[in-house]
Amino acid sequence: MDAQTIRSSLVSGRYRVTLHARQRMAERMIFDSDISHCAEMASINNQGEDKFKVTGQGLDGEELTIICAWDGETLIITLF
């Protein structure tokens, strides 16, 4: 898997979110629109074993980091 595929899936909303990540989203007031916005211009680094670190900004201009994996589709593991 490559960074462009991860970016495309995050921008278009084609991803799954773990329960842990959903909880973090609720705690930190991070919305799907923040994920899409972040991914548009994000730095995406392969962390090995089909895991990726996506770093950009949410709609509020604050830094947003998304940790995701590829398992046939993009799976958001956590965000902060």
The pTM of the full predicted model, rounded to 2 decimals, is 0.92
Class of domain 3-79: alpha beta
The per-residue pLDDT for 1 is 78
Asked if 40 and 50 touch (Cβ cutoff 8 Å), the reply is no
Residue with tokens 């994996």: 69
Q: What is the pLDDT of residues 15-27, one digit of tens each?
A: 999 999 999 999 9
Q: What is the pLDDT of residues 38-57, one digit of tens each?
A: 999 999 999 988 999 999 99
Percentage above 90 pLDDT, the chain: 92
Domain map (residue ranges) of the chain: 3-79
